[in-house]
Chains A and B, each alone.
Chain A
Amino acid sequence: NAGVTQTPKFRILKIGQSMTLQCAQDMNHNYMYWYRQDPGMGLKLIYYSVGAGITDKGEVPNGYNVSRSTTEDFPLRLELAAPSQTSVYFCASNDWGSGNTIYFGEGSWLTVV
């Protein structure tokens, strides 16, 4: 089983460039999440989705956009990349909001120079 798949694994961006981090899950989960993790720190929620066509902001949404056109895919868009967006990005999914195991992708390492 693939689980949660993120691409790319590593990326270097120049300031002002844009890019999309892809995330796909094959478990038919309705909830999907994007987190960022700065070195040695916990995860901060960027955006989440409770189903296709529904997205909502998390703790740190500024500078990012998401869409959820299908149950499987939840891409994260970075517009006008800034050095403060250098981080590790994790996509995750689960079956419903409370109490169920959340499955994480392997992470995407992004550096903005």
Chain B
Amino acid sequence: TQLLEQSPQFLSIQEGENLTVYCNSSSVFSSLQWYRQEPGEGPVLLVTVVTGGEVKKLKRLTFQFGDARKDSSLHITAAQPGDTGLYLCAGYETGANNLFFGTGTRLTVIP
């Protein structure tokens, strides 16, 4: 059973386009994180959202935590080739001590 499902699994877009990646679950999370992973490296934390409905911005990236704390989205404005990578959401299930990762979205931005 996969706690966190991401969509789409693969995304290839042209430089300058906008995109949204979704992270969905039937479980409630006390917090949710987004990571980006480059080939041959470990994931690197981008953001943590804690409050239902919370929106955080990191330059051209906008992260939103769903009101019920079961889902999240990542929106990238005017994508650039440097945004290419594997994007992973991860959540701490309420009452649990471990971090569960989503299935991942592999983004390719074509110059």
User: Secondary structure at chain B's binding surface: helix, strand, loop or mixed?
Assistant: strand
A78–B39 Cα gap in the complex (Å)?
Answer: 25
List residues of chain A with CB within 8 A of the CB of B4.
42
Cβ contacts B33-65/A at 8 Å (1 or 0 each): 100000011111100101000000000000000
Q: How many B residues touch A, CB cutoff 8 Å?
A: 27
Q: How many A residues touch B, CB cutoff 8 Å?
A: 26
Cβ contacts B82-111/A at 8 Å (1 or 0 each): 000010101010001111111110100000
The A-contacting residues of B in range 15-46, CB under 8 angstroms, are 30-31, 33, 40-45
A33–B92 Cα gap in the complex (Å)?
Answer: 13
Chain B binder among A11-19, A68-76, A102-110: A102-110
Q: A99-B31, A101-B45, A107-B41 are in contact. Are A45 and B99 (CB under 8 A)?
A: yes
List 10 A-B pairs, Cβ < 8 Å. Answer: A43-B88, A45-B98, A45-B100, A56-B97, A59-B100, A97-B92, A97-B97, A99-B30, A99-B48, A107-B40
